[in-house]
């Protein structure tokens, strides 16, 4: 995991808004069995996006670059900076959920892609529009369950 | 699935998530009275303040904040509580990083960070605040003590 830095908290929220729109499209397309293949391809885009965010962090992510070049110059300076590690951890949770959709689809589980897309919609909506990072929140819960051993 | 049904599923999900978001916004940072009468064990807690281990509480109110390394609002919360400590001589702010302290996480049933326990001078837990404390929550918590 990358070293902790201080980042503009609106960066990850901007990224979540893009993922939010993408996952809404994925769910809409995935609910029709005829177009589930297209939804699967779009889900792979989400997998790649989350993989980049998990490995390199939000600031080195293309969405982070978009935020810095297009959005941030138009905003007031941030009131607070936040630690880069929680949103990066949340990217890992997103990666897990989107990969779950891939596995369900390959295992021919009905609406497998739609289930993953629904979960991504829920998390990205809370992050983008409410500032509530569900993935970050899951850290302690996962640790208590013994899923994560050490930071 | 028809287009209408798909839109209905999508809207239903979004409304549900929005309700969760609004409830979270309203509830986060508010205090919940603790009826357990549990007392914080300072020896076990191993809190450090200004480089020294904390062995006794010296003010009427102590805000004991639990944080982790993976916590969006822990930093701002710590800033807010230490500003309160500077402004009010009856208030102490303690912060304990529980990333590697699963014993404390289980003992105090911490489900999210920051979680802030409001302690009296004896270390009894008066109430707990989940999430970034709201300003009026802190003011009324301090007001609950006879200072």
Q: Could you tell me if A28 lies within 8 Å of chain B, comparing CB atoms?
A: yes
pLDDT tens string A43-95:
999 999 999 999 999 889 999 999 999 999 999 988 888 888 888 989 999 99
Q: Coil, strand or helix: which one is A39?
A: helix
**Under a CB-based contact definition with an 8 Å cutoff, are residues A34 and A87 in contact?**
no
> Do B68 and A140 count as a contact with CB atoms less than 8 A apart?
yes
Tell how strand B91-97 and strand B61-67 pair up: parallel
Closest chain B residue to the Cα of A137, Cα to Cα: B112
Cα separation, B132 vs B135, in Å, equals 9
Which residue in the set B10, B24, B105 is minimally distant from A28, CB to CB? Answer: B10
The pTM for the full model equals 0.85
Structure tokens at B80: 């807010």
In this prediction the ipTM stands at 0.86
Residues from B in contact with A at Cβ < 8 Å: 1, 5-7, 9-10, 13-14, 17-18, 20-22, 24-25, 28, 68-72, 74-76, 98-100, 102, 105-106, 110-113
Those residues with Cβ within 8 angstroms of residue A55's Cβ, 6 or more apart along the chain or in another chain: none
In this structure, what DSSP letter does residue A109 have? -
Higher-confidence position of A104 and A150: A104
Nearest-CA distance B129 → chain A (Å): 15
pLDDT tens string B125-135:
999 999 999 99
Mean pLDDT over each residue of chain A, to the nearest integer: 90
Cα separation, B147 vs B137, in Å, equals 17
The pLDDT score that the predictor gives to residue B70 is 80
pLDDT tens string A89-105:
899 999 999 999 999 99
């Amino acid at each position: 995991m990358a070293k902790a830095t201080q980042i503009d908290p609106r960066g990850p929220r901007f990224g979540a808004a893009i993922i939010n729109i993408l996952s809404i499209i994925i769910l809409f397309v995935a609910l029709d069995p005829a177009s589930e293949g297209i939804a699967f391809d779009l889900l792979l885009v989400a997998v790649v996006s989350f993989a980049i965010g998990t490995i390199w962090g939000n600031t080195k992510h293309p969405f982070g670059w978009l935020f810095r070049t297009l959005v941030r110059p138009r905003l007031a300076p941030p009131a607070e900076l936040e630690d880069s590690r929680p949103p990066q951890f949340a990217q890992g949770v997103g990666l897990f959920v989107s990969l779950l959709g891939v596995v369900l689809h390959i295992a021919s589980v009905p609406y497998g892609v739609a289930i993953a897309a629904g979960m991504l919609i829920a998390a990205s909506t809370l992050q983008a529009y409410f500032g509530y990072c569900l993935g970050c929140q899951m850290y302690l819960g996962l640790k208590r369950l013994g899923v994560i051993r050490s930071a | 699935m028809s287009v209408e049904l798909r839109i209905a599923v999508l809207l239903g999900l979004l409304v549900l998530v929005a309700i969760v978001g609004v409830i979270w916004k309203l509830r986060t940072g508010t205090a919940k009275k603790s009826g357990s009468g549990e007392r914080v064990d300072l020896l076990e807690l191993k809190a450090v303040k200004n480089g020294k281990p904390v062995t006794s509480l010296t003010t009427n109110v102590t805000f004991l904040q639990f944080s982790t390394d993976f916590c969006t609002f822990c930093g701002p919360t710590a800033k807010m509580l230490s500003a309160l400590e500077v402004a009010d001589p009856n208030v102490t702010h303690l912060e304990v990083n529980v990333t590697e302290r699963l014993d404390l996480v289980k003992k105090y049933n911490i489900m999210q960070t920051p979680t802030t326990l409001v302690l009296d001078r004896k270390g009894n837990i008066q109430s707990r605040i989940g999430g970034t404390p709201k300003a009026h929550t802190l003011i009324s918590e301090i007001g609950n003590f006879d200072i």
